[in-house]
């Protein structure tokens, strides 16, 4: 077994023994579509999670943190259409009541239920749709892959397509499976988790190891993407290990192999979030190399990624390299501009403090006409580097967000 061998990812989720899912059209905000998901976990499952760092975190984030700290989760409850954020004490009460409704049906402790919400901020969460949906959710629980597919669709808000992947990975004790779903298209900027994502494996993993694996996977994936620079109030990423396969982590190679699989799924889901960015037509990887520190590299990458002038140039397929140059210069890092080089794909556009004398405009235009391409910045100040995925800013982004509550 080669711990570094690439993970073969399927574009569909796989059934995970020990994790059953169901969806319901509860009518929380949307009509005639599923908007509520229940995930039931095997009793011995372990759970790891990371949450938003937004100080105005939503009520379900607060409750999920509390419950995760005191008990072993048995159920995840996820609703779309209402974020239950900015709702004060009433929002906390509502989040706890949704957990109570699940616990009453399941016969478990309320603290064994983790709530998650996504949607419009500042509106009270209606409880009646949850209560009415409970019997159907419990009767519909299934391990089938179609249940994962339905869940991926049910958690969507402004997303245009579901985001879901699955894979199998060989450990020393046998084969284990992983599946993951995510939602997110706007209000996407890291500080964990910038969206909702739920991953599960049938491997047997202790909680501490599972948390370490998730934390490591998040940094180069969900924490390295940005659509619009906004960090949501509701972001969460959850990784569950049901242990139903009976295959555990026997050595460090097993841990590395599982970590690679989780990291690969997280990256694929994160990539799909950016690809599906609200109104996006371009997927751009920003690579910053030879920085004095990782912090400097990320500062440069995110200054470029969040520049409205750069993002609109991406949409226009206009190789206006001056906008990129200006963003690099205002990133707040020490630079010797004579050592900075900037590339569109393999085409050098800036060197020695100005336009590369060999650069031809048609070369830059060809690169920017592609659906996916790379912008590479070489700072010439050290050895640190970073990679960030972003997208363009189109007319449709404004339209989607102007009409979101209409």
Q: Which residues contact 359 (CB under 8 A, 6 or more apart)?
A: 321, 347, 348, 349
pLDDT in tens, 281-309: 999 999 999 999 999 999 999 999 999 99
What is the value of pTM for the model shown? 0.90
pLDDT at 232: 61
pLDDT at 295: 96
pLDDT in tens, 170-191: 999 999 999 999 998 655 454 3
Contact 134, 107 (CB under 8 A): no
Structure tokens at 133: 């949906």
| pLDDT score of 278 more than 80 | no
pLDDT at 192: 34
Average pLDDT of 350-363? Answer: 95
Q: Is residue 53 very low, low, confident or very high in pLDDT (cuts 50, 70, 90)?
A: confident
pLDDT at 226: 82
Average pLDDT of 238-249? Answer: 98
pLDDT in tens, 191-223: 333 489 999 999 999 999 999 999 999 999 988
pLDDT in tens, 116-144: 999 888 999 999 999 999 999 999 999 99
Contact 96, 70 (CB under 8 A): no
Helix axes 308-316, 321-329, angle to 10 degrees: 160
Average pLDDT of 70-90? Answer: 96
pLDDT at 404: 57
Q: Say what percent of the chain tops pLDDT 70.
A: 94
In the chain, how long is the greatest CA-to-CA distance?
A: 72
Q: Delimit the domains of the chain by residue range.
A: 9-275, 283-402
pLDDT at 3: 64
CATH number, span 283-402: 3.10.20.340
pLDDT at 160: 85
Q: What is residue 275's DSSP assignment? A: H
Q: Which of the residues are catalytic?
A: 194
pLDDT in tens, 329-339: 999 999 999 99
Contact 276, 245 (CB under 8 A): no
| pLDDT score of 326 more than 50 | yes
CATH number, span 9-275: 3.60.70.12
Cα–Cα distance list, 126 to 56, 87, 95, 114, 320 (Å): 20, 12, 10, 18, 49
């Amino acid at each position: 077994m080669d711990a570094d061998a690439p993970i073969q990812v399927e574009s569909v989720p796989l059934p995970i023994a020990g994790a059953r899912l169901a969806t319901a059209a509860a009518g929380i905000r949307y009509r005639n579509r599923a908007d509520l998901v229940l995930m039931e976990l095997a009793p011995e499952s372990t759970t790891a999670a990371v949450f938003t760092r937004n100080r105005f975190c939503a009520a379900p984030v607060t409750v999920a943190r509390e419950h995760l700290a005191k008990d072993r989760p048995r159920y995840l409850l996820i609703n779309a259409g209402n974020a239950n954020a900015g709702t004060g004490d009433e929002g906390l009460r509502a989040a706890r009541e949704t957990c109570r409704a699940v616990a009453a049906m399941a016969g478990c402790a309320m603290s064994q239920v983790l709530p998650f919400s996504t949607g419009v901020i500042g509106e009270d969460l209606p409880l009646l749709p949850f209560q009415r949906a409970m019997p159907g959710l419990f009767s519909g629980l299934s391990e089938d892959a179609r249940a994962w597919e339905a869940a991926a669709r049910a958690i969507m808000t402004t997303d245009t397509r579901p985001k879901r992947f699955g894979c199998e990975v060989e450990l020393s004790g046998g084969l284990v499976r992983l599946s993951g779903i995510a939602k997110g298209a706007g209000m996407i900027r890291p500080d964990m988790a910038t969206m909702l994502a739920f991953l599960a494996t049938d491997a047997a993993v202790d909680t501490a190891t599972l948390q370490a694996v998730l934390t490591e996977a998040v940094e180069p994936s969900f924490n390295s993407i940005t659509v619009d620079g906004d960090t949501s109030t509701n972001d969460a990423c959850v990784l569950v290990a049901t242990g139903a396969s009976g295959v555990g982590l026997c050595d460090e190679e097993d841990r590395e192999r599982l970590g690679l699989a989780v990291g690969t799924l997280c990256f694929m889901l994160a990539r799909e979030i950016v690809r599906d960015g609200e109104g996006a037509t371009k997927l751009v990887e920003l690579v910053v190399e030879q920085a004095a520190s990782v912090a400097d590299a990320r500062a440069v990458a995110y200054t470029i990624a969040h520049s409205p002038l750069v993002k609109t140039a991406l949409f226009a397929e206009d190789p206006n390299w001056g906008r990129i140059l200006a963003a690099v210069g205002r990133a707040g890092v020490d630079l010797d501009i004579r050592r900075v080089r900037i590339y569109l794909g393999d085409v050098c556009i800036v060197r020695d403090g100005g336009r590369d004398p060999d650069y031809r405009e048609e070369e830059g235009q060809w690169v920017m006409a592609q659906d996916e391409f790379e912008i590479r910045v070489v700072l010439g100040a050290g050895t640190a580097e970073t990679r960030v995925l972003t997208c363009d800013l189109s007319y449709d982004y404004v339209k989607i967000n102007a009409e979101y509550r209409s």
